Structure 1
Amino acid sequence: MKIKKILLTILLAACTLTACSNSNTSNDDDSKSVALITDGNINDQSFNQSACEGLEDYGQEYKLNKGSDGYQYFQVNSPNDLQNGINKAIHQKYHTILGIGDEAESAIISAAKKNPKKNFVIIDDTIKSHKNIVSIRFRKDEGAYLAGVAAASETKTGKVGFIGGANNAVISSFKRGFTRGVNDQAKKMHKKVTIYRQNVGNFTDTARAKSIASYMYGKKADIIFHAAGDAGNGLFQTAKFINQARPAKDRVWVIGVDTDQSNLGKYYAKGGQEANFVLTSVVTGVNRATKNIASRSYQGKFPGGKTIVYGLKNNVVSITPGQISPNAWKNIQIARNQILSKKIKF
């Protein structure tokens, strides 16, 4: 009997130690926790900010706190810091880790291989053949096409512009969609529209974007669409500078990207009139996509190995009415319906 009691005591002690160990493992990797690694300024009024808003929405819906047992975002200021940002999230025991853009690809692949039990997400790029990575893509060409229809419909000078950010596939998709939208609508309206196109080379060089915008407006472009992230602020600065010296009726326009950027277009025209130079914005619902994938992970339904594509069909990609004229808005809706019915294919 004494021997049995001794063995029982040892067994209970061992079970207690095992339970403690399992408890620590659970705390070390809370299956509900989500971290977002940005590819630039959190408050960029664009892609990063929208993704962060989606993460906040996720936390609120599931009543989670910021921290390793809930959700958090890590701001990364340069591509060289992406791996460090991901490693920091791993070290702090986040279970699902989201990275943004093609520059995060190698860092996410490396982390996913070393941490096969964690979930990884790349937003705005595709990574194939990894069961613990989900890719999220957006039909940028669809939204940009509608921006092109708007620009061709509204231009008074017959000259419009496009300013891209980095030289990558995503920006090329924006450029192609916008160019085709302008050309198709111009053809329908029997008018000639010239398109100026140039990339900044990155998403941070505001001064470079400002210089490009000055050149395009100087060449009589009256509408410029940008897909340049934080660098796009240079375009807004240029448009504001030009418009402040003109009557509101002679303003030059900006088409915003990723979020409704109309708040960036407020200014006072010559004579003191309050006005706004944002014609419309092409909205990419990064917030909705971020919340959706975080929620699926929370519910134990993480779609590992898949690529999820969002576009006009599910209203994640859209264009705002902004200050578009009724006739131009009608043209946009016709084009949207043609895309959805696949009469316009990309």
Structure 2
Amino acid sequence: MKRLLVLFLMVLVLAVGFAFKAIMVTDTGGLGDKSFNDGTWAGIQKAAKELGIEAKVIMSNEQSDYIPNLTKAAQEVLKEKDGGIVFAVGFMMQDALEKVARQFPTVYFAGIDIAFEKELPNVINFLFKEQESAFLVGYIAAAMTRTGKVGFVGGIPIPPVERFRYGYEAGIKAYMDLKGKKITVIRGYTNEFSDPKKGKDLANSQFSQGVDIIFAAAGACGNGVIEAAKERSEKLAGKGYENIKNYALSGKPLYYAIGVDVDQDYMAPGIVLTSAMKGIDTAGYYGVMWAYKGQFKGGLKVLGLKENGVRTSEMKYTKEIIEKLAPGVLKELEYLKGLIIEGKIVVPDSEEALKAFTVKGVRLPR
């Protein structure tokens, strides 16, 4: 009995004494963006809860905060008996992450939407094929527009934002190729990620030009796009999901938004048609798990539809609306998704590839 008690106390001491910390340094969008930062943090929190470890956030108010915040996070991790991992969230942190990671070679780092010219052994870089999920939502937008004009609102035109745009426009081009429908895309950029008012103003400008659906890849600025679509639609249909749904099912036109990064459909039920999601939560989760379990391996990981690294939302509030107003489009979408996974359709990730993109050889199932 005494021996069992000693063993129990030893196990208890080891458990209590284990110290591992996961720290996320946000970009300037910060927590509460309901998008990029929140999505990554959700994955980190999930892993931390399962493992019983500490997770914390260091907020960046401006780009000059990136290096000092990453440095502070690395220093905190070094103090932990069992180490930890530091996350840098967003392409804008690329140079800062590379500099700090070189200064702390024994600390694990994970970069979201970040890639280096030369990989570092202590950094996992996660990139996503945003263009693949954006292709799917672009196809839906093309099928659902009543005016023949759809919009795109980007934040800063950095590579991940532009990959969203390329995919979105490719999905629209695919619909035009397959259906012979003429659709115009109106583009605009807020040139930042943290001001919803700028997103709302730009969305209202596009709506006033005849656009009826806008895809926002603009961080917290995209929240303003959703708000603009909601306000305009509620003036027509009345407030509340049931009013929106019934108005749409009656065949009357509304204004719609498309969410990004995470499932944003809940933010305006019936008005956010779908969301082009990327596995930032998955990256956050596995980054922590691999570091904690000794399975960390630095290098680049690129995640697309095939790896379930990007996807669309389940369209909980809009599936019935889409099926009624664009019959067969969701079935077509599944078929096209399969062709992308098989490599038979390669969604463009550059302007040049977008200009050359066509699916005229594809035959949709009857």
The TM-score, its normalising length taken from structure 1, stands at: 0.84
Aligned partner of 2:207 in structure 1 is: 217
- Partners in 2 of 1:334 and 1:217 — Cα distance? 31
> Which whole-Å CA distance do the structure 2 matches of 1:103 and 1:223 have between them?
28
Q: Which moved more, 1:238-247 or 1:135-144?
A: 238-247
Post-superposition offset of 1:310: 1.2
Aligned counterpart in structure 2 of residue 283 of structure 1, from 273, 277, 281: 277
Shift of 1:41: 2.2
Counterparts of 1:319 and 1:215, CA distance in 2: 27
Answer yes or no: is 1:317 the counterpart of 2:301.
Answer: no
Once the two structures are TM-superposed, the CA of residue 158 in structure 1 deviates from its matched residue by: 1.0
User: d(CA) in 2 for partners of 1:207 and 1:191?
Assistant: 33
1:33 alignment partner in structure 2: 21
Give the CA RMSD over aligned residues: 1.7
Q: How far 1:179 moved relative to its partner?
A: 0.5
Higher-Rg member (1/2):
1
2:260 is the counterpart of 1:257? yes
Whether contact under 8 Å (2:77, 2:85) holds in the other structure is: no
Alpha-carbon deviation of 1:83?
1.5
d(CA) in 1 for partners of 2:144, 2:36: 26
Q: 1:297 corresponds to which residue?
A: 291
Question: Residue in 2 aligned with 1:17?
Answer: none
Answer yes or no: is 1:90 the counterpart of 2:58. Answer: no
Tell me the SS of whatever aligns to 1:116. Answer: coil
Distance (whole Å) between structure 2 residues aligned to residue 257 and residue 203 of structure 1? 12
Unmatched runs of 5 consecutive residues or more in structure 2: 1-16, 79-83, 238-246, 349-366
One-letter amino acid of the structure 2 residue matched with residue 124 of structure 1: D
Return the alpha-carbon distance in structure 2 between the equivalents of residues 190 and 307 of structure 1.
40
1:178 aligns with 2:165: no
Counterpart position of 2:362:
none
Matching residue within 150, 155, 160 for 2:150: 160
1:109 aligned residue = 98
Residues 109-166 of structure 1, C-alpha deviation per residue, up to 9 Å, x if partnerless?
1111211111111111202332212110111000101111111111111111111111
Q: Shift of residue 104 of structure 1?
A: 1.0
* Structure 2 residue matching 1:35: 3-state secondary structure: strand
* TM-aligned CA deviation for residue 232 of structure 1: 0.9
Matches within 5 A, 1:175-214: 175-214=165-204
Q: Distance in 1 between matches of 2:150 and 2:271?
A: 14
**Superposition pairs for residues 223-242 of structure 1, below 5 Å?**
223-242=213-232
Tell me, in whole angstroms, the C-alpha distance in 2 between the residues paired with 1:335 and 1:75: 40
Give the AA of the match of 2:275. Answer: S
- Structure 2 letter corresponding to 1:341: E
TM-score by length of 2: 0.79
Count residues with an aligned counterpart.
303
1:79-108 deviation line (CA, Å, top 9, x unaligned): 221112212212323531110112111211
Do the aligned residues in 1 keep the contact of 2:33 with 2:194 (CA within 8 Å)?
Answer: no
Alpha-carbon distance in structure 2 between the residues aligned to 1:228 and 1:166: 7
Which position in structure 1 is the counterpart of 2:41?
A: 52
SS at match of 2:101: helix
1:100-139 map, 5 Å: 100-127=89-116, 128-139=118-129
C-alpha distance in structure 1 between counterparts of 2:77 and 2:290, whole Å:
19
Following superposition, the deviation at residue 259 of structure 1 comes to: 1.1
The superposition leaves residues 47-99 of structure 1 with CA deviations (integer Å, 9 ceiling, x where unpaired) of 111111111111111122x3xxxx22222222221112212212323531110
The separation in 2 between residues aligned to 1:129 and 1:292, in whole angstroms, is 19
Alpha-carbon distance in 1 for matches of 2:155, 2:213: 17
Structure 1 match to 2:3: none
Q: Determine if contact 2:127/2:300 at 8 Å carries over to the other structure.
A: yes
Q: How far apart, in 2, do the equivalents of 1:129 and 1:318 lie?
A: 27
Q: Distance in 2 between matches of 1:77 and 1:91?
A: 20
SS in 2 for 1:92: helix
More divergent stretch after superposition (144-153 vs 309-318):
309-318
Cα separation, 2, equivalents of 1:120 and 1:291 = 13
Q: Distance in 1 between matches of 2:74 and 2:290?
A: 20
Structure 1, unpaired ranges of 5+: 1-26, 267-275
Q: Is the 8 A contact 1:149 1:331 kept in 2?
A: no
Moved more, 156-165 or 199-208: 199-208
Question: Which amino acid in the other structure matches residue 262 of structure 1?
Answer: D
